[in-house]
A and B are shown apart, each in its own frame.
Chain A
Amino acid sequence: MTTALYLLRRVLQALAVVLIVTIVVFCLLHALPGGPARGVLGVSATPAQITAFNQAQGLDQALPVQYLRFLGRLLTGDLGTSYTLNEPVAQLIAERLPKTLVLTGISAVLGLVIAIPVGMWQAARRNGAVDYAATALAFVFYSTPAFFLGLVLIIVFSQQLPWLPSQAPSGNTLAEVFQDPAGLVLPVVTGALAMIAVFSRYMRASTLENLQEDYVRTARAGGASTATILRRHVFRNSLTPVVAMLGYYLPVLFGGALVTEQLFNYPGMGLLFWNAAQTSDYPTLLGCVLVISIATVVGTLLADVAQSLIDPRVKAGRA
């Protein structure tokens, strides 16, 4: 299969996935007991008020019709209006998404920069002290709920040792957020630790697998040192599957952002979503789920494309 065909097939698959996501989200939000009207108008609303609300919002029509109208509005970038904040959901998300992407992006990069060398070190010195210690730590951090980890970090580094603020920067723009870099440390570390736990394991496994390949034996026979083999040959080959895993890890990253943003009061999309859930602000909930899911699909697609560009075996369907 040529690269173009492979890419076309992946893009079509991604579009199908996005379509299914819209159906899932639409169904979920129409499974509400009493419907969105109760959530907005409260339990004391009269039937007449509810009918009027449903008419105004188009909630009285058949579900397939509502779905198609919903899809049509989506294509024009209209995600509805927040019930509680009285602002277009698209605008609310557009203000907050960059902040979430920056926070998770910094966490992810920091996590990878640490996890990749650690994983390679573990593979090169398999069953050594460092390998066991890193494995134990990876197990512990993988098994720690993010909100518990964040809380312990706050208590240790913000209360007992008053080194860092327990609140993230609360500015409206990215520039304001970056004026208080100390406030970013704890949220970033909370996300990065979980990332290191998972990706050091991937990198270790991937490196071990490559170290058993014939090309490594050939290089060894030619007299190359382990360090040279790792740096010149194994590093790039081991990284390829890790790049693909990054795409699949995105839902976990965004889920983590939900927790860290709430815990550290960081004004990103996770906090917007959290507050929307507390106030039953369904248009905002719906919009956030959609945008996060589409971001995940696109991220996974990009990771697959990147992998196919690095590794010619992928598009041949052999890896």
Chain B
Amino acid sequence: MTAQLAPEAPGAASLVQPVASTGWRLAVRRFRHNTLAVIGLVVIVVIVLFCFVGPFLYPTDQTHTQLSQANLGPGAAHWLGTDAVGHDVLGRLMFGGKVSLMVGIAAGILATVVGTLWGSVAGYVGGWVDAVMMRVVDAGIAIPALFILLVISAITTPGVGGLIVILGFVSWLVPSRLIRAETLTLKNRDYVLTLRAIGGSHARAIGKHLLPNSVSTIVVAATFQVADAILLVAYVSYLGLGVQAPATDWGGMLSAGLTAAYSGRWWLIVPPGLAVILVVCAFNAVGDGLRDAFDVRGR
């Protein structure tokens, strides 16, 4: 997924200078006044608690099949019913959510790190190195991520670690463009040029000015990247790349429930579907809030 929701137009906030360390308190205050972003943050915390603490309050057996308990509707014993092999769906939502969240967050961060390195080198070095590096990015963007993932699914079945690497590998392109653009504007700022003119090294220019001033852009990019990665994790099971049984994730639950949903067992697909939508919305809302709070352009 390389599309993003577009930014707010720069309002009065664009008069504020790029955020240095003193701007952080201002950014926190702006973020707290963004209702949607605060709700998003609360939703993320609640879902993380649900997945990681929930199993202690609502213990279920997610490793053994219990065919005598299969295909039950929602009720007192199983709040969200059971699936085709007798797993409690509410418990499975927590069990699969752990994988979805961990893989999504790790892949999103990996993509941001790779994109930051690639984009900052391309932008700072410039010239033909920049031209070649950015054509590679163009080529990567031209190949739809879902097509690449389906080709990979025809070749191999990765574990959780492999999945994170694969998802990071198909999603670092957009952040690399954002960071490159950021580097291009920053490297010609007066304070960077001054530092270079009085004999400061490239390393010092990057360490003292470029990276600290890019932190807000990187944090915002990472937030959107995690949202996209969690969405992509939901797709991979559908494409045949998902984690292997007995492990599962929300996408795996959706794929497994597809046929059952046609025969009326809605509780197999509605909970994981809503969980994906809710958590992706929440990360996007937080990303929007952070972007406006830091006054970052792009996305």
Residues of A within 8 A of B (CB): 13, 16-18, 20-21, 24-25, 28-29, 31-33, 138-140, 142-145, 147-148, 151-152, 154-155, 159, 197-198, 201-202, 204-206, 208-209, 211-212, 245, 248-249, 251-252, 254-255, 258-259, 273-274, 276-278, 280, 282, 285, 288-289, 292-294, 296-297, 300
Contacts and interface: CB of A to CB of B under 8 A. Distances in A.
B269 A148 contact: yes
Contacts of B144: 251-252, 254-255, 258, 292-293, 296
Contact of A144 (B142, B261, B277): B277
Given A208-B8, A212-B9, A252 B2 contact: yes
Contact of B139 (A24, A144, A202, A276): A24
Rank and list the top 7 A-B pairs by shortest CB-CB distance, nearest first.
Answer: A208-B9, A143-B280, A20-B139, A255-B146, A209-B9, A255-B144, A205-B6
B276 interface: yes
Contacts of B150: 258, 273-274, 277
A127 to B, nearest CB: 11
B108 interface: no
A282 B155 CA distance: 10
B258 to A, nearest CB: 6
B48 to A, nearest CB: 17
B135 A205 contact: no
Given A138-B5, A140-B277, A204-B6, 19 more contacts: A13-B135, A17-B139, A28-B152, A139-B5, A144-B273, A145-B276, A155-B266, A159-B262, A197-B5, A201-B5, A212-B11, A249-B3, A251-B145, A254-B147, A255-B145, A255-B146, A277-B154, A288-B147, A293-B139
Contacts of A208: 8-9
A33 B152 CA distance: 11
A147 B3 contact: no
A159 B3 CA distance: 32
B100 to A, nearest CB: 12
B284 A139 contact: yes
Contacts of A155: 261-262, 266
Interface stretch (B196-204, B212-220, B230-238): B230-238
A143 B231 contact: yes
Interface residues of B, number: 52
B13 to A, nearest CB: 12
Candidate in A16, A29, A259 with the most chain B CB atoms within 10 angstroms: A16
B227 interface: yes
A273 B147 contact: yes
B297 to A, nearest CB: 11
A145 B231 contact: yes
A142 B5 contact: yes
B139 A21 contact: yes
A292 B147 contact: yes
Interface string B1-25: 1111111111100000000000000
13 contacts: A140-B277, A142-B280, A143-B276, A145-B238, A148-B254, A152-B273, A197-B5, A205-B7, A205-B8, A206-B6, A258-B144, A282-B154, A289-B143
